[in-house]
Amino acid sequence: MDRFNQTSPVVGFILLGLSAHPRLEKTFFVLILLMYLVILLGNGVLILATILDSRLHTPMYFFLGNLSFLDICYTTSSVPLILDSFLTPRKTISFSACFGQMFLSFAMGATECVLLGMMAFDRYVAICNPLRYSMVMNKAIYIPMAAGSWAAGITNSVVQTSQAMRLPFCGDKVINHFTCEILAVLKLACADISMNVISMVVANVIFLGVPVLFIFVSYVFIIATILRIPSAEGKKKAFSTCSAHLTVVVIFYGTILFMYGKPKSRDPLGEDKQDLSDKLTSLFYGVVTPMLNPIIYSLRNKDVKAAVKNLVHQ
């Protein structure tokens, strides 16, 4: 009978968040709220600029508009939940809302991985084969590339989320995170999760490993081509067209590697500090990176900077 009660249908979960650090909650509420507003404003302006300014009607800026829209969707799927957790004493979330948020976050994260790879290919063609750029990167090519990125990310999210939803959950159902992060949720399952783990490993290879390798190879060819340009001005101009994308890639993947690649502490006293560090790193990945993307592209790209200025002054 007890076993039946433990594995009965889940009504909801409790999000732990920063409950163990109440003094930080108000500070982070203000900080995250301000960052979220900057994300909405910065990425919103960038989307409008890529739509309204005819100079930005190129494959590179089409991908950039997709990236900005994706960042808005990604943060909107989690930030309101995080802000609410800072203010609500009993941080509960329903089963459906939890997995809905998990689905959106997973879909946006996987889509961004693929999209950054597509953007690297665009830069490779532009710099290594400039005479063939308009023929290779035409609408019949770059629109399906972007659509394929979204389709791949959403498909992966459907697979991962549906597998997690079928698991039985028992115990107090406390998620030690701000949101319904899949690894934190899987820890609450009272069933074998080996298939979930295998599925996630395969997905990580496809959506992290393959795009990183693709981006690395693309930039090897890009850098080799730039180094062969005789004039310093030509090298500077060529590098400026891909420096923003490269900066975004380094921040995006660098944060992921830092989150999941650092060693775990075996010291019981250090585990609490590491737990806080892991949560704050996750927060950085989920909020700071989408906030920096429009800033990086605006500062490092003359066309975007000019388009944004025209939009603001209209």
CA angle 294, 298, 304 (to 5 degrees): 110
* pLDDT above 80 for 92: yes
Q: Are 137 and 57 in contact (CB under 8 A)?
A: no
pLDDT band at 169 (very low <50, low <70, confident <90, very high): confident
Task: Give per-residue pLDDT as tens, 49-66.
Answer: 889 888 889 999 999 999
283 or 252: which leads in pLDDT: 252
Tell me whether strands 12-15 and 174-175 are parallel, antiparallel or unpaired: parallel
The percentage of the chain sitting over the pLDDT mark of 70, rounded to a whole number, equals: 88
**CA separation (Å) from 65 to 105, 147, 186, 228, 291?**
19, 13, 34, 31, 14
| The pLDDT of residue 86 is above 80 | yes
Q: Is residue 9 very low, low, confident or very high in pLDDT (cuts 50, 70, 90)? A: low
Residue 264 DSSP label: P
Burial class (CB in 10 A: 0-12, 13-18, 19+), 306: middle
So what's the pLDDT on residue 314? Answer: 63
The letter for the amino acid at 163 is Q
Of 4-13, 132-141, 167-176, 284-293, the range with the lowest mean pLDDT is 4-13
pLDDT of the residue at 313: 66
Banded pLDDT at 3 (limits 50, 70, 90) = very low
- Kindly report, residue by residue over 191-226, the tens digit of the pLDDT: 889 999 999 999 989 998 999 999 999 999 999 999
DSSP states of 288-313 as a string?
Answer: IHHHHHHHHHHHH-HHHHHHHHHHHH
Tell me which of 143-147, 242-246, 298-302 is least confident.
298-302
So what's the pLDDT on residue 275? Answer: 66
Q: What is the pLDDT of residue 7?
A: 46
The per-residue pLDDT for range 214-273, each reduced to its tens digit, is: 999 999 999 999 999 888 888 888 888 888 889 889 888 887 777 665 555 544 444 555
Q: Which helix (DSSP H) or strand (DSSP E) does residue 174 occupy? A: strand 174-175
DSSP for residue 132: G
- Residue 198's pLDDT is 93
Distance of CA 181 to the CA centre of its chain: 13
Cα–Cα distance, 185 to 50 (Å, whole number): 38
- The answer, yes or no, to whether residue 147 has pLDDT greater than 70, is yes
pLDDT at residue 38 in the model: 93
Give the model confidence (pLDDT) of 109-139 as tens digits: 999 999 999 999 999 999 999 999 999 999 9
Average pLDDT in the chain: 84
pLDDT at 1: 40
C-alpha to C-alpha distance for 179 and 166, rounded to whole angstroms: 19
